[in-house]
Structure 1
């Protein structure tokens, strides 16, 4: 396979490097990133939101000195960071982070300032892609100000592409209809368990020929370890959904396939999907991602998994 896997292109998501759920040292972050690099991964995704800039800082220090054309990198706009001595550790589930707070800003000026701040933390003179991050509660400004500014940045050659990163298919569809965004990142809504984006967003992206990147393929952990109380969409999964995930696990095990492997490889079976994003906060996790991407999955397994798909209208 080629870098990051030939059959399944995988972007390394760097939220965990921002101290998601537990503090992460720079040394540990570099160990995880080095493992990814050694295994051939060359696509990275981060955001100011992740650890109030810590993820970008750790990623930037790791990439320093590496040829700029040897990797691609996406980050996001919509949250400006300000120094805040009173910042509370654990805000938004990020721990051991710098003393900063987030300020939502989807204005044109906010986009420029966010990019300038990110470039400083990343120690780079450019990023490849900018996503408008979680704009669902600020959609009018994001569509009316952030998107046109990102289009200008793309036209100026400052970035190669822009789009939206969201957990909501209808938000992505709004950008698809009302902007000339050329790539979209949807989290959690196209997985083995949750196919809600398949109804509308995926065919719309296919029709327009835009790139769709799928994140959250493990649904916050339920598809990694379907145990009672496992998280789905950042909250404890109801018992009936855990049972559904366990049925999928049993189907996979009957074929000798780990559930994680099927979950990681599933999204790119759809022609609209260009890549999956997999978070990897430790070297061990990176090696596991590589191993799961390399698992051979028999064609008949997908049909058997479809047969135990839970009722999509009941999903939280």
Structure 2
């Protein structure tokens, strides 16, 4: 069951309706620090209460912990009322020899399994089957090829072909790729029969590089875009810019910090918080179907939904565009028509 009306949705070309704000489940896989099962359940329940109906996870997140927790938290929710996405490309393989130590890839979980890159047909099928078991469902609404940066040849051939096969069988709905770059995602859109892409960190107030390649082609081909990592690892996540905050998983360059401060000043003059502008910015482009942010607690969910709902005057976007601080995606899309 679900307990409130859904947030506004946008549709993929196969008709799947996705809420404009999505729940990123990496943090409930113990990303960087431990999160309890109870806190994870409350976060997912709060998301449902606040109208979020799109939930994104991956085997990579906590070596399956995120998928398991998400599945348990959603098990009483009507399956047709939500959209679930997970990812393929990293198979989880038993690793008893490392079970006594912690994972070394950012998640605070025992390393009882290890990740193995595999974009083969068999690997994709096995990955989806394992994800369905952990999530406790019979289908994925979206399946993304996960971070295939160093695996273009396999991912763009056997990987996509395997997902198309599963799409034809109804085991997955929409198919696509998710990456921290826009150039290769653009090539997936150009060369393969995918429905959606997830671009992390390349369509934000501080880095709108996806506007130059990915967004125009996605709009032309009818491929949906999900924007993730819109805070660029933290620099845009607070009303006042923290000069010690990370940018793209590392120390932020001074020039980037200074630009973030200038953007925050513009937001303040217009009565808008910097994080609210960061969340709503990608949604100004018609090819974008959702913004996914990581959410660890119920309070985090509530604050994120409040940012999504905040009223932002058009004059803010006009000023950011006119000053060269952040190009207006809506104006750029209009000019490309």
For normalisation by structure 1, the TM-score amounts to 0.94
Instruction: Give the whole-Å Cα distance in 2 for the aligned partners of 1:138 and 1:288.
Output: 37
Q: Is the 8 A contact 1:219 1:232 kept in 2?
A: yes
- The question of 1:304 aligning with 2:307 is answered no
Q: Is the 8 A contact 2:141 2:174 kept in 1?
A: yes
Deviation digits for residues 127-161 of structure 1 (CA, Å, limit 9, x no counterpart): 11100000010110001101011011111121111
Q: 1:308 deviation in Å?
A: 4.7
* Structure 2 stretches lacking a partner, 5+ long: 11-18, 328-337
- The question of 1:145 aligning with 2:158 is answered yes
Q: Indicate the SS of the match to 2:140.
A: coil
Instruction: Give the whole-Å Cα distance in 1 for the aligned partners of 2:76 and 2:261.
Output: 45
Instruction: Give the whole-Å Cα distance in 1 for the aligned partners of 2:205 and 2:181.
Output: 17
- Structure-2 residue corresponding to 1:134: 147
- The question of 1:284 aligning with 2:299 is answered yes
- The question of 1:76 aligning with 2:87 is answered yes
Q: Which of 14, 26, 39 is matched with 1:28 structurally?
A: 39
Q: Is the 8 A contact 1:215 1:277 kept in 2?
A: yes
Q: 1:229 deviation in Å?
A: 2.3
Q: 1:209 deviation in Å?
A: 1.0
Instruction: Give the whole-Å Cα distance in 2 for the aligned partners of 1:310 and 1:240.
Output: 14
CA gap of 1:310–1:90, structure 2 versus 1, over 3 A, is farther
Q: How does 1:57-72 map to 2 (within 5 A)?
A: 57-72=68-83
- Structure-1 residue corresponding to 2:223: 210
- Structure-1 residue corresponding to 2:278: 263
Q: 1:83 deviation in Å?
A: 2.2
Instruction: Give the whole-Å Cα distance in 2 for the aligned partners of 1:157 and 1:291.
Output: 35
Task: Using the TM superposition, name which of 220-229 and 291-300 deviates more.
Answer: 220-229
- Structure-1 residue corresponding to 2:180: 167
Q: Indicate the SS of the match to 1:95.
A: coil
Q: Indicate the SS of the match to 1:106.
A: coil
- Structure-2 residue corresponding to 1:314: none
- The question of 1:190 aligning with 2:200 is answered no
Instruction: Give the whole-Å Cα distance in 2 for the aligned partners of 1:160 and 1:250.
Output: 42
Instruction: Give the whole-Å Cα distance in 2 for the aligned partners of 1:212 and 1:17.
Output: 24
Q: Is the 8 A contact 2:208 2:326 kept in 1?
A: no
Q: Which of 6, 9, 24 is matched with 1:3 structurally?
A: 6
Q: 1:240 deviation in Å?
A: 1.6
Q: Indicate the SS of the match to 2:289.
A: strand
* Structure 1 stretches lacking a partner, 5+ long: 312-316
Q: 1:66 deviation in Å?
A: 2.0
For normalisation by structure 2, the TM-score amounts to 0.89
Q: Across the two proteins, how many residue pairs are aligned to each other?
A: 311
Q: Is the 8 A contact 2:205 2:326 kept in 1?
A: no
Instruction: Give the whole-Å Cα distance in 2 for the aligned partners of 1:158 and 1:47.
Output: 16
Q: Indicate the SS of the match to 1:44.
A: strand
Q: Indicate the SS of the match to 2:183.
A: helix
CA gap of 1:6–1:207, structure 2 versus 1, over 3 A, is closer
Deviation digits for residues 185-237 of structure 1 (CA, Å, limit 9, x no counterpart): 10100011101000010000011111111111111111013212211111111
- Structure-2 residue corresponding to 1:240: 255
Q: Indicate the SS of the match to 2:158.
A: helix
